[in-house]
Structure 1
Amino acid sequence: MSVNEEKYVEQREASGPLITAVVAVVLAVGALIWCFGLHNHLETDEANLATATQRNIELAKKLEATNAQLQATSETLGQSVGMTQKQLEARATAIMAAQRASTAKIEHEQEVNAKQIGAVASDVSAVKTDVGGVKTDVGGVKTDVASTKQDLEDTKVQLQRVVGDAGVMSGQIATTHAELEVLKHKGDRNYYEFTLHKGQQPLLLSSIKLQLKKADEKHSKFTLNVSADDKNIEKKDKGLDEPVQFYTGKTPVLYELVVNQISKNQVTGYLSTPKGAS
């Protein structure tokens, strides 16, 4: 072996441990780098896992709340459906009862009508039998009706003659405008219609003045002042259609007034005076 070859061998033998040491250092550094990277990767995975776990917990809670709401809604719907069913059944029962009652009522009315028709038929037969006798009595009935009508007219006239508040038997009293027109056409007395309002100045009629003091529509009462011969006479709490009487004139004659209508703060009627009175 030459000298150079020996040196090369010596150098190779001397550099062998160095290379091994370098390789070992490189491997150690690489192992450290890999361990560090793995550690970081594990921390990231652990953080992601914790986040995912927290999300799963929250989702589970929301799922439980949703299930509870669905269960409550289902129970409410079940109760509502149950109540609706009961209401429908009760309504149907009421309708059927009403129909039965209506049917029974109609049947009863038909039965009553049938009985009435039978009774009317019997009465018609009896009327037909008596028609001859009725025709015979028609003339007498007409005479009786005329007599009765005259009696009623006489009674009506008598009823219209009443005693006034002065104790004097009054003439015929008119309770309506139409009846007053009848009295005017008879020509026995003078008649003056009037309407008095509470609070107004006295109204001059013939030779007297009238002034309304009170009108009680509810109790059909009125109060008024009569001015005659320079004197005031209060006619207090007089009634509807009541003859209110007083004497006036140099030769005193009977004046009479009647109120036919009483409303709020107003009365309407007429004054009756003898023929020839001023």
Structure 2
Amino acid sequence: MNAVSVSEDKPKESRFTLAGAAAVILGATLIFGNIYLLNRTSRLETQIRELRGAVRTELANLQHDTIATTSENSKALAGLRQLLDETGSRNQQAASQATLLARRYSEQLAKKLERQEKQVSEQHQQLVAQLGEITQTTSQTDQKVSGIATEVTGVKSDVAETKSALDKTFGDLRSVRGDLGIQSGLIATNARELAALKALGERTYFEFQLPKTKSPQRIGDVAVQLKKSDTKRNRYTIELITNDKRVEKKDRTINEPVQFYMAKARLPYEIVVNEVQRDRIIGYLAAPKVRDVR
């Protein structure tokens, strides 16, 4: 009987043990669930606080930017109004100044016209007076014209005499053969004949008085140096520098054409000495006017 009782109590203890374990597991699950929910809730609250803070910061920045923009716009609007006021004031000043300048110009123009009218009136009076003087002078001029006609007749007579003397001078001029064996043009033996040659204009003439020096002297475009002068025999010796060469003309006599060529010249140059003095010769250089153009 006792054995049967013992076998019946064991199943009851087993059932109590499973139920307790299930209760423990359920309680633990509830505890962990609550902990998870609390943790999740805390995180959400933290995120919400951060989001609210960010929103507040953004709103504050937006409000600050809005205030700054509004202030800048207000300043720009105030500046624009001031500029418009200044422009209007300047336009009024410019209009007033233009009116003043126009009035001054008008007054100056009126004064200028008045002066011109006065000058024209004075000039008219002067012309009237001069016309009277011209009328009076005309009669005097008529008398002078007859006197001038008489003088012209005398001048014509003088011209005829001068022409006759010039013709005689041309007749006295002679042409001789130069030291190069080339027939020379007309040569002059004195100042009167040289003046006649210049009047003909066939050559260019350079008069000279060449002293004896240590270096050549310029006559026209020729360099000449007097080496020797013999007053008793009327002879002289000169040295020419032509075309970068030195050429000596020795023992030449007076009124003899000393001939030489220069670059680009078809005709020879001629030196004619009319007078030989001690350490000095007097004469002229005749240069051709026509040269070759190369």
- Do the structures match in fold with TM over 0.5? no
Q: Normalising to structure 2: TM-score of the pair?
A: 0.40
Structure number with greater Rg is 2
Q: Normalising to structure 1: TM-score of the pair?
A: 0.43
